[in-house]
């Protein structure tokens, strides 16, 4: 046993008995030293894959201490460590653990942190800690289990990290199914499985005198509770044997075979060959032995009858006649039929003995009847021998007892016994009667079915042999909370304490509106009506949660949660329920359902929208925000309107903009609508509209000129493509020719004359009837994005994301839309978004991909800030790196790798997506193929390598640079790279060799990898192979993520404080922060002086309508800086 800082103490319990405990109470020590271990000796597991441990302990309430330490706890932590021998563990305990081992507890597996339900507070100063009177009445008993166990044994450790605790008992055990004989098969003792729901199959061995039924071995299953269940197959008794009452053994039958001797010899009839004296003596002895066994069985039957109260006759009665044919001289074919049941009288038994003697005398004659009686007596025992001597006296002749027998009377004939009260038998055959199952009974003998007791029922699907059950009790512990800001309320509860003896249960919700929060009679409340909706449903709920939507504001609701099962409908009483009431407060407006484009110009767009479905009060104003699709969301600009229309000016011609809108009432802003994209009018389109207004002649001339220009353009494009085409088949061969054997290169769909051919070649056509759209979850450049379900033939249904092409797009837009399918269809990797297929044969066209539940990586990290360990974050980065290595091996350059273009599923698997800027890399240098972007193409500067934004040269090395920025985003939980520096400032800083600093809590080893991705010369950067190897090393050795690395000599950027010396107004302060987009919000909030602004808190900034976390932090930090500046600037007069 290993003990560290625990004390072994002898104390008296409440009954005055001496007990031994382990105690620790070091709550006032340094928190860093609170690591107190108590471990068991090495314990063999005896083939058990799962072990249970029960702790009995008491804990001192931290609040009852005079000066409680911040490190005081009321919990214990359980660990276990597997090993093969005690010696192996001794080496572990004797060796001083390193600091890394102390931090990580390497080799130990955490079972659980156990919190105390009860703690003692009463303290008698005159008594030591262990003798406190209230202590042992506040004992906690907790049971936990751990699995799987694969080695010879284990050690269990109990670790205290700052509690005042007394450990009174530890029970360590495992569950197993006992050895048993069932269904005529033997099953050995078997430990339960490793999982709580595991069923361990065990093959049985047929008991003696039985064989497997149907030729297959019998099986039973051992469940986690140590109970046998789910029998499969069984054994049957061999001929001449029958099962006992509990079907655990095969016993000899009650009757002899009427056609053959028990020894298998044919009867000796007329003309049978003579048998020698020696052989006949052997047959005679064997026959006597077999008959003796039969006699013992009959004696047992007789005694069973006597125990049931059948009194024997007071005087001998005439013997019962056997069914024998009259004896004839010499050997004959006489056979004896043994009775199946004895009638309980001495006379009946005497008659049976006479039949035996007659059988012996006629079939196997002995020299005298005396010898025959003696031979038979030698095979009998106990009372049977006494009664045999009473029937045959000394020297009495055998055949004298048969002079008056009537050989034509039948053998024993007894009617079958009926099942007694409390038993039933529902099937034909020789199976015994069964005891009535739970909660059922019979009122008369011979019942086929047991009737359910009052209040208990059988469901229509239950068999007659099943127990009767009842409705469940009411659910427990119901609670409610706001699900979202649009009027939704979430209800949660716990299952019923009494399940009524059944396993299934589901719930229903009843909703009522009450006149006030102080109502006393539920009858005063009315039904909610159809306006309130329930998610997932109102009835038949299998989970313990439901969400109520479309609730009114400032209204009191009474909610009843009912519990029902399969027999609830049979009960005359209503289901039991638990009630809760709450009053809703005023909510913010709900989502604005849609946006509509009224008109557009090269530099403006006019939009309109309907009022929210639930305004929840008067709408005070609307906030419309927009940004260029090529930019990120942080660059959004807001426009405010008190009406349902607005015109957005100063836009770029022919550009795509993303728009979102939300409404504000007295409570605040509601959620933003889904992102919808609109395009401004191109200059050439505007010119065409002007030309349409000119006279017909001018239009004809311009049309002819336009036609000539088109012809010239086609000729120029054709010549250009002919010159740059290496061969008629070079683009197609790119897919199959590889400098790394077996790797298929990516084919750029834009090299096809008809991009739809690439889609046909690389994407699978999907039957729309196999696709079900559930809801719209967003908007894309050329349409909307929905969540749906796809069920392909022969496969299970899967969740998918469906991009639908909107109506009225141009052929060029359609080609661009389908190009993404031609790109995705060429990839198959667990860290690259998977294409399920396309719909092109019937409008609207659709692209179907796998569904990623957690959405973009950057938004997911911002929503879950500080919720992941460093190891989990490195795992996410590693997944993206694996996907990028796969793409680079196929000469594919992404060009837009960033956290916003990486999607995360429910298992935190990251997948590279959004291939809108992706291109095929070309070049004679196979070690560094490149792609040159055209002038005017958009480049995400913050994620782009210097050679890319300076010379527009993209390669796998430029993707490595972007990967380094993505690593920085992940470790900073989605913070914007380079903060609020402009694109020009970013390019200048990067060109001057400045690099991003390590985010907070970022391991130096990981920041060192980032810096290697940001080498100025692309040839000096690591490849994705090397990056993955480095990340794998970090994951395999988590301690290295904490080791110190030398600081880089590379100059690092940092967000510089704002120069406040020249700031005199709030407007100038916002401009200096580059937050002038929020000037209108500051004006409406009457924040018109720097003194008022300096008092802003994070909550105040949120109430202003600043929703971006980075902007909230920046304004709050700047306000604190401004407060310091104003305080230092005050001069005492």
- Helix ranges, 726-856 (H): 730-733, 755-762, 811-824
- CA angle in degrees (0–180, nearest 5) for 771-775-781: 90
Cα 114 from Cα 75, distance rounded (Å):
5
Q: What is the dihedral of CA 396, 400, 405, 410, to 10 degrees?
A: 40
Cis peptide before 760 (omega within 30 of 0): no
Buried-exposed string 944-975: b where 16+ CB fall within 10 A, e elsewhere: bbbbbbeebbbbbbbbbbbbbbbbbbbbbbbb
Q: What are phi and psi of 463, to 5 degrees?
A: -85, 165
Distances (CA, A) of 325 to 276, 365, 397, 409, 582: 26, 16, 20, 11, 94
Residue pair 10/18 in contact (Cβ under 8 Å)? The answer is: yes
Cα 407 from Cα 410, distance rounded (Å):
8
Cα 249 from Cα 208, distance rounded (Å):
7
Of 61, 160, 896, 1100, which one is the catalytic site residue? 896
Residue pair 496/527 in contact (Cβ under 8 Å)? The answer is: no
Q: Residues in the chain, how many?
A: 1133
Q: Which residues contact 211 (CB under 8 A, 6 or more apart)?
A: 235, 236, 238
Cα 481 from Cα 830, distance rounded (Å):
38
Q: What are phi and psi of 813, to 5 degrees?
A: -65, -40
Pick the closest to residue 30 from 165, 162, 129, 159 (CA basis): 162
- Residue 547, classified by CB atoms within 10 Å of its CB into exposed (0-12), middle (13-18) or buried (19+), is middle
Catalytic residue at 896? yes
What pairing do the DSSP bridges indicate for beta strands 210-212 and 235-237?
antiparallel
DSSP string spanning 584-634?
Answer: PPP---------EEEEEETTEEEEE-PPPS---S---EEEEEEEETTS-GG
- Residue 159, classified by CB atoms within 10 Å of its CB into exposed (0-12), middle (13-18) or buried (19+), is buried
Cα 1076 from Cα 1058, distance rounded (Å):
14
Pick the closest to residue 192 from 226, 221, 219, 220 (CA basis): 226
How many CB atoms lie under 10 A from the CB of residue 424? 23
Residue pair 165/23 in contact (Cβ under 8 Å)? The answer is: yes
Pick the closest to residue 783 from 932, 674, 676 (CA basis): 676
Residue pair 807/789 in contact (Cβ under 8 Å)? The answer is: no
Cα 1003 from Cα 1000, distance rounded (Å):
9
Q: Which residues contact 932 (CB under 8 A, 6 or more apart)?
A: 952, 953, 954
DSSP state of 1104: T
Residue pair 424/442 in contact (Cβ under 8 Å)? The answer is: yes
Q: Is 244 helix (H, G, I), strand (E, B) or coil?
A: coil
Residue pair 962/1020 in contact (Cβ under 8 Å)? The answer is: no
* Catalytic residue list: 896
């Amino acid at each position: 046993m290993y003990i560290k800082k625990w004390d072994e103490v002898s104390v008296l319990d409440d009954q005055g008995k001496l007990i031994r405990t382990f105690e620790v109470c070091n709550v006032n020590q340094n928190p860093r030293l609170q690591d107190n271990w108590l471990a068991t000796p090495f314990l063999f597991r005896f083939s058990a894959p799962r072990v249970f441990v029960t702790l009995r302990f008491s804990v001192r309430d931290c609040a009852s201490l005079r000066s409680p330490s911040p490190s005081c706890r009321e919990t214990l932590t359980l660990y276990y460590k597997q090993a093969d021998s005690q010696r192996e563990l001794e080496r572990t305990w004797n060796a001083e653990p390193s600091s890394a081992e102390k931090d990580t507890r390497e080799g130990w597996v955490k079972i659980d942190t156990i919190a105390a339900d009860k703690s003692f507070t009463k303290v008698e100063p005159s008594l030591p800690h262990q003798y406190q009177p209230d202590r042992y009445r506040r004992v906690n008993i907790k049971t936990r289990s751990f699995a799987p166990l694969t080695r010879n044994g284990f050690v269990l450790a109990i670790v205290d990290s700052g509690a005042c605790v007394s450990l009174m008992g530890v029970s360590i055990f495992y569950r197993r199914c006992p050895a048993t004989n069932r269904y005529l098969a033997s099953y050995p003792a078997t430990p339960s499985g490793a999982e709580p729901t595991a069923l361990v199959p065990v093959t049985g061995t047929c008991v003696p005198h039985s064989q497997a039924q149907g030729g297959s071995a019998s099986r039973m299953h051992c469940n986690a509770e140590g109970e046998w269940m789910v029998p499969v197959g069984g054994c049957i008794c061999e001929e001449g044997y029958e099962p006992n009452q509990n079907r655990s053994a095969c016993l000899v039958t009650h009757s002899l075979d009427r056609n053959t001797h028990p020894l298998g010899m044919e009867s000796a009839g007329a003309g049978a060959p003579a048998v020698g004296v020696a052989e006949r003596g052997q047959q005679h002895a064997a026959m006597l032995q077999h008959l003796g066994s039969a006699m013992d069985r009959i004696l047992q039957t007789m005694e069973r009858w006597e125990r049931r109260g059948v009194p024997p006759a007071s005087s001998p009665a005439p013997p019962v006649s056997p069914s024998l044919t009259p004896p004839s001289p010499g050997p004959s074919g006489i056979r004896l039929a043994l009775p199946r049941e004895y009638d309980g009288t001495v006379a009946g038994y005497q008659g049976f003995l006479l039949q035996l003697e007659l059988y012996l005398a006629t079939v196997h004659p002995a020299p005298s009847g005396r010898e025959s009686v003696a031979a038979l007596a030698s095979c009998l025992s106990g009372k049977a021998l006494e009664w045999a001597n009473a029937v045959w006296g000394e020297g009495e002749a055998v055949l004298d007892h048969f002079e008056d027998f009537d050989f034509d009377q039948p053998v024993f004939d007894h009617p079958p016994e009926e099942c007694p009260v409390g038993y039933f038998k529902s099937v034909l055959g020789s199976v015994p009667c069964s005891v009535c199952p739970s909660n059922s009974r019979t009122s008369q003998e011979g019942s086929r079915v047991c009737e359910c007791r009052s209040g208990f029922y059988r469901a229509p699907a239950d068999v007659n042999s099943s127990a009767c059950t009842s409705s469940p009790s009411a659910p427990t512990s119901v609670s409610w909370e706001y699900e979202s800001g649009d009027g939704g309320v979430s209800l949660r509860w716990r299952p019923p304490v009494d399940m009524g003896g059944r396993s299934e249960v589901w719930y229903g919700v009843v909703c009522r509106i009450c006149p006030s929060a102080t109502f006393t009679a539920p009858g005063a409340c009315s039904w909610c009506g159809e306006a309130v909706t329930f998610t997932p449903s109102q009835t038949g709920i299998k989970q313990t949660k439901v969400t109520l939507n479309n609730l009114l504001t400032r209204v009191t609701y009474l909610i009843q949660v009912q519990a029902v099962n399969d027999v609830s409908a049979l009960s005359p009483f209503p289901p039991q329920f638990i009630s809760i009431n709450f009053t809703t407060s005023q909510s913010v407006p709900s989502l604005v359902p849609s946006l509509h484009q009224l008109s557009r110009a090269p530099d403006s767009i006019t939009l309109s929208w309907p009022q929210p479905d639930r305004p929840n009060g008067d709408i005070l104003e609307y906030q419309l925000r927009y940004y260029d699709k090529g930019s990120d969301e942080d660059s959004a600009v807001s426009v405010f309107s008190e009406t349902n229309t607005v015109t957005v000016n100063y836009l770029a011609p022919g550009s795509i903009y993303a728009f979102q809108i939300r409404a504000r009432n007295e409570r605040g802003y509601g959620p933003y609508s889904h992102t919808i994209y609109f395009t401004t009018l191109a200059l050439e389109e505007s010119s065409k509209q002007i030309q349409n207004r000119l006279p017909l002649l001018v239009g004809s001339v311009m049309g002819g000129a336009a036609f000539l220009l088109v012809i010239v353009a086609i000729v120029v494009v054709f010549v250009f493509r002919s010159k740059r085409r290496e061969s008629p088949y070079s683009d197609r061969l790119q897919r199959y020719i590889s400098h790394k054997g077996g790797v298929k290169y990516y084919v750029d769909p834009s090299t096809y004359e008809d991009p739809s051919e690439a889609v046909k070649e690389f994407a699978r056509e999907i039957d729309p009837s196999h696709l079900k759209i559930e809801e719209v979850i967003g908007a894309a450049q050329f349409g909307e994005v929905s969540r749906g379900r796809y069920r392909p033939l022969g496969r299970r249904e899967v969740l998918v994301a469906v991009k639908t092409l909107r109506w009225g797009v141009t052929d060029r837009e359609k080609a661009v839309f389908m190009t993404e399918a031609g790109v995705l269809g060429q990839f198959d990797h667990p860290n690259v978004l998977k294409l399920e297929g396309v719909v092109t044969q019937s409008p609207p066209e659709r692209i179907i991909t796998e569904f990623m539940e957690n959405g973009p990586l950057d938004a997911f990290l911002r929503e879950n800030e500080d919720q992941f360990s460093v190891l989990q974050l490195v795992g996410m980065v590693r997944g993206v790196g694996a996907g990028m290595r796969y793409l680079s091996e196929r000469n594919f350059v992404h060009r837009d790798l960033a956290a916003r273009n990486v999607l995360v599923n429910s298992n935190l698997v990251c997948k590279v997506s959004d291939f809108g800027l992706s291109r095929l890399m070309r070049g004679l240098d196979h070690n560094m193929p490149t792609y040159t972007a055209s002038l005017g193409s958009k480049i995400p500067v913050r994620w782009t390598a210097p050679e890319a934004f300076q010379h527009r040269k993209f390669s796998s090395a430029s993707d490595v640079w972007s990967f380094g920025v993505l690593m920085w985003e992940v470790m900073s939980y989605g913070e914007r790279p380079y903060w609020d520096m402009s694109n020009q400032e970013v390019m200048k800083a990067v060109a001057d060799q400045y690099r991003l600093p390590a985010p907070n809590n970022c391991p130096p080893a990981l920041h060192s990898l980032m810096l290697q991705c940001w080498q100025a010369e692309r040839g000096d950067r690591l490849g994705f192979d090397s990056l993955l190897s480095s990340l794998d090393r970090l994951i395999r050795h988590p301690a290295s993520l904490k080791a110190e690395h030398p600081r880089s000599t590379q100059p690092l950027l940092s967000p510089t404080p704002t120069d406040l010396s020249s700031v005199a107004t709030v407007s100038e302060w916002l401009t200096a922060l580059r937050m002038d987009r929020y000037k209108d919000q500051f004006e409406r909030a009457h924040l018109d002086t720097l003194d008022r602004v300096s008092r802003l808190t994070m909550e105040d900034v949120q109430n202003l309508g600043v929703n971006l976390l980075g902007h909230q932090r920046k304004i709050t930090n700047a306000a604190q800086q401004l407060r310091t500046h104003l305080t230092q600037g005050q001069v005492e007069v």
